[in-house]
Structure 1
Amino acid sequence: MKNTPVTIKDIARSLNISISTVSRALRGMQEIHPETRKAVMRLAEELDYQPNQLAKNLAKSRTKTIGVIVPNLSYHYFSAMLNSIEEAALQAGYSVLVCQTNESYLRETTNIQNLLRSQVEGFIISLSRDTDNYEHVERLVRKNIPLVLFDRYAESIDVSKVIVDNHAAAFKATEHLIENGCRRIGFLAGPIQLVLSNQRVAGYRAALAKHGLSVGDQYVFHCDYTQENTIMQTLALMSLPQPPDGIVVISDRMAYSTMYALKQKGLRIPEDVAIVSFNNEPVSALFSPTLSSISQPIQEMGTETVRLLLRELNATDSTVTKETKVMETQLIVRASSMRQLPAQ
């Protein structure tokens, strides 16, 4: 037998009074006779009446729901970020609706429309690999819908952002390879339209320039984050007349494919080619050799992302100053980058 929730209509019918009288009595309004209010409250308790919170929130244009859009939840970084975001949102009394774009611009635009239809109050978004047109995001800004971007973002969109210092992180990773004897360092970057990727390439070049090494484009190859493309680009990089003796890779997931390709060519890591990447996924410590990687403060980033969104959701007007929170990273050194330096 279906257990249907008790409604104020049921209470009104049982007491032979109007629905509006029950509603006002439940809200404790003084114009309702005390005996009537007492009878309504007693019956509501007996019938275990629960107010329809969603209907109440909709009436106030509040659903207490946040829409989160990420490129792919199979990426450890995004699944870990989602855990942090959801925890912070729940503590603030909000629930989270999650969509993934699978790196598709079209799916990203569809996700936004679907979440709008679901009455989310605001958005937390990390842009897809294929997104190079931001009109769908700019439309949210023009409508004054609260929005925070994290990790992957566009500089032209005037919203709050939570990111890491990508330039400094790549500088740190590249300099580490230099300090371990690498002199021809390649960079396996992401798609050229990604701000995050370009910032890391700039940091890589800055480290090379500081140490007087080549900063030409011949050692920078752009990948699309897929395993097949990363292997292909790794083999192309290693086919250069003077192949690199060190590689900075934009993500651990890509680095695993890079290490596979290098081993297939019979190259030793780190003796022949040293590797450093980004994200410090848990499996990086289990690979052979273990993978050196840039660690990001994911827990703090998720909490900060929600804080910035709640700041806009709770604002009394739409003139909240946009804030970009830049978080610091840490290089976790493991076997993949620790070369034996030649004796002096």
Structure 2
Amino acid sequence: MKNTPVTIKDIARSLNISISTVSRALRGMPEIHPDTRSAVVRLAEELDYQPNQLAKNLAKSRTRTIGVIVPNLSYYYFSAMLNSIEESALQAGYSVLVCQTNESYLREITNIQNLMRSQVEGFIISLSRDTDNYEHVERLARKNIPLVLFDRYAESIDVSKVIVDNKAAAFKATEHLIENGCQRIGFLAGPSQLLLSNQRVAGYREALAKHGLSVGDQYVVHCDYTQENTIMQTLTLMSLPQPPDGVVMISDRVAYPAMYAMNQKGLRIPQDVAVVSFNNEPVSAFFSPALSSVSQPIQDMGAETVRLLLKQLDATEETVVPRETKVMETQLIVRASSLRAAVR
């Protein structure tokens, strides 16, 4: 089955006519014979041809503007990614319009509609926490509108993506805790429907299995990224009859209130419970104790995201640009919060 969008070149080849004839027929130009026009329209419907509406609108006057949609710019990861995206876009002669979803699916749809009205030439999107229906994003892909997803994505959406291997990164983080003497390791995860979080939980479980460790499902708890909910879920986890002696956190912004809750409960980090997290925010090095965290190459990820989008923006309407998934390398930055063996 063909996964790439149908172009007017495909229609022309099937009917053995020129691309320009197909283009004029689809636009209803009077010089095209009615039988030819009917054949073109009929085949276009059969093949589910979706014209690139943005390309048509901007044929005479390009805006050279990219729309970027992120969950929340108060998250360090997304603000840092935006800096990289904007820098790379400016170097290529494009400006950036930015919208935040505030983790709302409905607001994500509204953001796309507003950016379309602003005639952006393409989209860079990281899905919201609440997004579990992808029709609004898939519609962009069907219309051949240039689009790249990053960080948070859905495997079912056939577009270019820039991501990290979350499963492998979580495996490495969990194995690090095991090597530092932890036997009962918990995971403070994100929302249960979030693919990124589930991939990290899978890596955590794989590391436990490799080392012959078994913990119950109660050792994996889910939070919604808010401080209040994170504190509540942390206290639930640490109040188990046999509380974990190590915890993997879904992100640094979750780790900070979680570590606060542990301290309020009288737990020492890392002596009583070792902690490792994701994103390696700058403040992690200055936290007390300094937070071990998985670092992602944000600068390179932003540049790669723009590069993949530019490949689509620079292509002609008849060109099929292959979908690409770029998986970037991560690095575990070890600090005091996870070095439990060193303080025994």
TM-score interval for Structure 1 and Structure 2 normalised by the shorter chain: 0.7 to 0.9
3-state SS in 2 of match to 1:336: helix
Displacement of 1:61 in angstroms is 4.6
Alignment of 1:141-290 (within 5 A): 141-290=141-290
Residue ranges of structure 1 left out of the alignment (5+ in a row):
1-56
Displacement of 1:114 in angstroms is 0.3
Aligned CA distance change for structure 1 residues 336 and 209 (closer, same or farther; 3 Å): same
Alignment of 1:95-174 (within 5 A): 95-174=95-174
Asked if the contact 2:151–2:164 (Cα under 8 Å) also holds between the matched residues in 1, the reply is yes
Asked if the contact 2:148–2:161 (Cα under 8 Å) also holds between the matched residues in 1, the reply is yes
Give the Cα–Cα distance (whole angstroms) in 1 for the partners of residues 221 and 340 of structure 2: 23
Asked if the contact 2:185–2:215 (Cα under 8 Å) also holds between the matched residues in 1, the reply is no
Displacement of 1:63 in angstroms is 1.0
Q: 1:326 corresponds to which residue?
A: 327
Pair member with larger Rg:
1
Asked if the contact 1:249–1:255 (Cα under 8 Å) also holds between the matched residues in 2, the reply is yes
Displacement of 1:60 in angstroms is 2.0
Question: Residues 276-298 of structure 1, C-alpha deviation per residue, up to 9 Å, x if partnerless?
Answer: 00000001011111100000000
Which amino acid counterpart does residue 339 of structure 2 have in structure 1? Answer: M
Q: 1:66 corresponds to which residue?
A: 66
Give the Cα–Cα distance (whole angstroms) in 1 for the partners of residues 262 and 319 of structure 2: 52
State the TM-score, normalized to the length of structure 2: 0.81
3-state SS in 1 of match to 2:73: coil
Residue ranges of structure 2 left out of the alignment (5+ in a row):
1-56
Q: 1:291 corresponds to which residue?
A: 291
3-state SS in 1 of match to 2:69: strand
Asked if the contact 2:184–2:215 (Cα under 8 Å) also holds between the matched residues in 1, the reply is no
Give the Cα–Cα distance (whole angstroms) in 1 for the partners of residues 202 and 58 of structure 2: 47
Give the Cα–Cα distance (whole angstroms) in 1 for the partners of residues 234 and 61 of structure 2: 51
Asked if the contact 2:280–2:333 (Cα under 8 Å) also holds between the matched residues in 1, the reply is yes
Give the Cα–Cα distance (whole angstroms) in 1 for the partners of residues 143 and 163 of structure 2: 24
Which amino acid counterpart does residue 187 of structure 1 have in structure 2? Answer: F
Give the Cα–Cα distance (whole angstroms) in 2 for the partners of residues 242 and 188 of structure 1: 16
Displacement of 1:341 in angstroms is 5.6
Displacement of 1:315 in angstroms is 1.3
3-state SS in 1 of match to 2:315: coil
Asked if the contact 1:64–1:120 (Cα under 8 Å) also holds between the matched residues in 2, the reply is yes
Q: 1:90 corresponds to which residue?
A: 90
Give the Cα–Cα distance (whole angstroms) in 2 for the partners of residues 318 and 161 of structure 1: 19
Which amino acid counterpart does residue 271 of structure 2 have in structure 1? Answer: E
The sequence identity of aligned pairs, in percent, is 86
Displacement of 1:337 in angstroms is 0.4
3-state SS in 1 of match to 2:341: coil
Alignment length (residue pairs): 287
Displacement of 1:116 in angstroms is 0.2
Q: Which has the higher contact order (CA 8 A, sep 6+)?
A: 2
Give the Cα–Cα distance (whole angstroms) in 2 for the partners of residues 281 and 108 of structure 1: 25
Displacement of 1:270 in angstroms is 0.3
Question: Residues 152-191 of structure 1, C-alpha deviation per residue, up to 9 Å, x if partnerless?
Answer: 0000000000001101100010000000000000001111
Which of structure 1's runs of 4+ aligned residues deviate more than 4 A?
none
What value does the CA root-mean-square deviation take over the aligned residues? 1.3
Give the Cα–Cα distance (whole angstroms) in 2 for the partners of residues 60 and 204 of structure 1: 52
Q: 1:49 corresponds to which residue?
A: none
Displacement of 1:340 in angstroms is 3.0
Asked if the contact 1:188–1:220 (Cα under 8 Å) also holds between the matched residues in 2, the reply is yes
Q: 2:338 corresponds to which residue?
A: 337
Aligned CA distance change for structure 1 residues 225 and 213 (closer, same or farther; 3 Å): same
Give the Cα–Cα distance (whole angstroms) in 1 for the partners of residues 139 and 202 of structure 2: 30
